[in-house]
């Protein structure tokens, strides 16, 4: 965290992720590193030590480090550590106190609040006058827009539901003019979160690690003897459920015991190198799955290419969030359907018709064909059948998706999905389950029906379909439509 690049004043790592066990000493580590950066104004070109004018100007240059917590109280934990270090009362200073303040006396102001509300540390102008600000990511951190930040820390970010938005839309842009570092620090939560994905981008064990990122683990075991006694540690660990020890003590990411889909199978089906979106191809068969949610939440449309028997690949994923008109979302569904229809290609659209949102869609889509309504959230038995079918396809390796862009949101939802899904994001999972339901129905028809055994309705003398003599099954109608699609695809080629 304190390494510098070839300039000797800029940080070597631009983004650092720390996954730590409980009481592993991560707050103390961050307190020391933040104070170091702020005192030395790391990232600013140092002055000529023999030029008094440059030295004076450097001391007057502003330097602002911002520390964020998911709540203000959590964000202020770092303030308490920095203050106790400077006062020489930190539990890690039992013998020696603080050499800096012992030699110079008070070196910073920390007994007042910025704007009367936020904790604040201001170093003395003699030491550069750098400032450390303490904020919260409440309301997705938008209160920090417009500020230039020389450095950023984000504590307990693994528990932040809006992690990606806050990082990409707020925090990252605050360091564009300074080139400052950004550090993410958290104890991992059970299950796979956006912080876990961020950690992997800098993981030294990841062959695709990005060059300006570094990630590392901190174990509570390494802090024994520095405020934690071995015998007490051993006794307390015996009271932790065994499956949580790698997470709570060693800072490792584990899959939640209630997770529905196998993490390894989910991760394997997102393949690097597949384009984020592909246009239709002649004679290909596509299935669009749609979850209109509550229309005012998040609506997902996922298009699969099911041309090859037994497997499917994602070719387009569309997500609309926020308050939106039902007509606009319906237009998106129809537009996607038509984008994958034509030139011998055919697209089937399946929509979750559970609840009012789906019923409205069914009316607005009009003569969209082929169209099927799927009861995803009907009875518990129906829901379990849909999810179990999707789980089977995933674990058999019969689905493949791009490992880029909006598809990564689908990946995160699959990794975090639990059957009690009322309080989690699961719209993309629903859309995929709806699409795979239709995919499996088509696969069953193709497998169980002989090529020349398609049922066709009787025709009159003018070639028009007449009333059926008996009630044909839904499967017979599906087989008939499948044959017509094949015939159209073949005629389009010739």
Residue 205 maps to a domain:
yes
Q: Do 109 and 225 share a domain, yes or no?
A: yes
Q: Do 158 and 19 share a domain, yes or no?
A: yes
Q: Do 197 and 177 share a domain, yes or no?
A: yes
Judged against a pLDDT cut of 90, whether residue 288 lies above it is answered with yes
Judged against a pLDDT cut of 80, whether residue 383 lies above it is answered with no
Of 248, 265, 284, the domain-final residue:
248
Residue 440 maps to a domain:
yes
Average pLDDT score over the chain: 82
Residue 430 maps to a domain:
yes
**E runs forming strands in 202-345:** 213-218, 270-271, 285-291, 298-305, 312-321
pLDDT tens readout for residues 140-199 = 888 788 889 999 999 998 888 788 889 998 999 999 989 999 999 998 876 556 888 888
Structural domain that includes position 480: 451-494
Residue 19 maps to a domain:
yes
Residue 262 CA to residue 317 CA, distance in Å, equals: 22
Q: Which of 200-209, 225-234, 248-257, 369-378 comes out lowest in average pLDDT?
A: 369-378
Mean pLDDT to the nearest integer, 351-377: 69
From residue 449, how far is each of 393, 421, 437, 472 by CA, in Å? 21, 37, 18, 15
Q: What pLDDT, on a 0 to 100 scale, did the predictor assign at position 358?
A: 56
Q: What pLDDT, on a 0 to 100 scale, did the predictor assign at position 239?
A: 83
Q: What is the CATH number of the domain that holds 30?
A: 3.40.50.300
Judged against a pLDDT cut of 70, whether residue 378 lies above it is answered with no
Q: Do 441 and 302 share a domain, yes or no?
A: yes
Mean pLDDT to the nearest integer, 67-83: 91
Q: Do 316 and 421 share a domain, yes or no?
A: yes
Q: What pLDDT, on a 0 to 100 scale, did the predictor assign at position 369?
A: 83
Residue 9 maps to a domain:
no
Mean pLDDT to the nearest integer, 246-254: 82
Angle between helix 194-201 and helix 407-416 axes, rounded to 10 deg: 120
pLDDT tens readout for residues 306-316 = 988 778 999 99
Q: What is the CATH number of the domain that holds 318?
A: 3.30.420.240
Q: What pLDDT, on a 0 to 100 scale, did the predictor assign at position 182?
A: 96
If phi > 0 it is left, if psi is from -120 to 50 it is alpha, else beta; for residue 461 that is alpha
Q: Do 29 and 90 share a domain, yes or no?
A: yes
**445 vs 16, residue with greater confidence:** 16
Q: What pLDDT, on a 0 to 100 scale, did the predictor assign at position 215?
A: 94
Q: Do 398 and 458 share a domain, yes or no?
A: no
Q: What pLDDT, on a 0 to 100 scale, did the predictor assign at position 285?
A: 92
Mean pLDDT to the nearest integer, 263-281: 90
Q: Which of 20-24, 122-126, 343-347, 358-362 comes out lowest in average pLDDT?
A: 358-362
pLDDT tens readout for residues 37-67 = 999 999 999 999 899 999 999 989 999 999 9
Of 231, 248, 265, the domain-final residue:
248
Q: What pLDDT, on a 0 to 100 scale, did the predictor assign at position 468?
A: 47
Q: Do 478 and 408 share a domain, yes or no?
A: no
Q: What pLDDT, on a 0 to 100 scale, did the predictor assign at position 107?
A: 82
Q: Do 242 and 378 share a domain, yes or no?
A: no
Residue 375 maps to a domain:
yes
**362 vs 376, residue with greater confidence:** 362
pLDDT band at 31 (very low <50, low <70, confident <90, very high): very high
Residue 159 maps to a domain:
yes
* Burial of residue 451 (number of CB atoms within 10 Å: 0-12, 13-18, 19+): exposed
Q: What pLDDT, on a 0 to 100 scale, did the predictor assign at position 295?
A: 45
Which residues lie below 8 Å from residue 138, measured CB to CB, with a gap of 6+? 71, 72
Report yes or no on whether pTM surpasses 0.85. no
Mean pLDDT to the nearest integer, 341-354: 86
**474 vs 27, residue with greater confidence:** 27
Q: Do 464 and 416 share a domain, yes or no?
A: no
Q: Do 339 and 241 share a domain, yes or no?
A: no
pLDDT band at 276 (very low <50, low <70, confident <90, very high): very high
Contact (CB, 8 A) for 24 and 222: yes
Q: Do 366 and 471 share a domain, yes or no?
A: no
Of 210, 230, 248, the domain-final residue:
248
Residue 263 maps to a domain:
no
Minimal CA–CA distance to 47: which of 128, 122, 152, 108?
128
How many domains are there within the chain? 3
């Amino acid at each position: 965290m304190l390494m510098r690049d070839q300039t000797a004043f800029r940080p070597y790592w631009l983004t650092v992720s720390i996954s730590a066990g409980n009481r592993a000493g991560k707050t103390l580590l961050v307190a020391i590193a933040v104070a170091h950066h702020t005192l030395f104004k790391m990232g600013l070109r140092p002055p000529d030590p023999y030029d008094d004018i440059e030295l004076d100007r450097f001391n007057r240059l502003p330097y602002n480090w911002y520390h964020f917590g998911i709540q203000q109280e959590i964000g202020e934990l770092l303030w308490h550590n920095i203050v106790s270090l400077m006062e020489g009362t930190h539990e890690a200073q039992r013998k020696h106190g603080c050499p800096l303040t012992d030699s110079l006396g008070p070196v910073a102001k920390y007994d007042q609040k910025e704007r009367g509300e936020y904790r604040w540390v201001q170093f003395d102008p003699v030491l550069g006058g750098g400032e450390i600000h303490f904020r919260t990511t409440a309301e997705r951190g938008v209160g920090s827009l417009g500020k230039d930040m020389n450095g950023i820390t984000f504590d307990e970010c693994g528990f932040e539901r809006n992690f990606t938005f806050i990082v990409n839309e707020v925090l990252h842009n605050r360091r564009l003019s300074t080139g400052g570092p950004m550090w993410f620090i958290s104890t991992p939560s059970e299950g796979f979160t956006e912080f876990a994905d961020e950690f992997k981008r800098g993981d030294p064990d990841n062959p695709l690690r990005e060059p300006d990122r570094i990630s590392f683990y901190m174990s509570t075991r390494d802090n024994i003897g520095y405020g934690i006694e071995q015998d007490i540690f051993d006794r307390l660990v015996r009271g932790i459920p065994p499956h949580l020890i790698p997470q709570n003590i060693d800072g490792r990411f584990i899959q939640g015991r209630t997770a529905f889909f196998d993490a390894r199978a989910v991760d394997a089906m997102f393949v690097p190198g597949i384009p984020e979106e592909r246009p239709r191809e002649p004679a290909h068969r596509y299935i669009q799955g749609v979850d209109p949610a509550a229309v005012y939440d998040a609506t997902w449309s996922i298009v699969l290419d099911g041309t090859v028997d037994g497997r499917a690949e994602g070719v387009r994923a569309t997500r609309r969030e926020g308050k939106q008109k039902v007509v606009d979302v319906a237009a998106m569904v129809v537009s996607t359907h038509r984008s994958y229809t034509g030139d011998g290609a055919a697209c089937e659209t399946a929509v979750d018709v559970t609840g009012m949102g789906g019923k409205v869609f069914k009316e607005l889509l009009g003569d969209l064909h082929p169209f099927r309504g799927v009861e995803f959230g009907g009875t518990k038995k129906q829901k379990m059948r849909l999810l179990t079918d999707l789980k089977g396809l995933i674990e058999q390796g019969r689905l493949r998706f791009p490992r880029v862009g909006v598809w990564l949101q689908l990946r995160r939802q699959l990794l975090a999905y639990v059957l009690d899904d009322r309080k989690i994001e699961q719209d993309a999972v629903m859309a995929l389950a709806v699409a795979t339901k239709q995919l499996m129905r088509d696969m069953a028809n193709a497998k169980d029906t002989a090529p020349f055994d398609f049922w066709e309705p009787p025709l009159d003398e003018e070639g028009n379909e007449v009333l059926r003599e008996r009630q044909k099954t839904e499967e017979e109608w599906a087989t008939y439509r499948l044959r017509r699609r094949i015939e159209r695809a073949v005629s389009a080629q010739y």
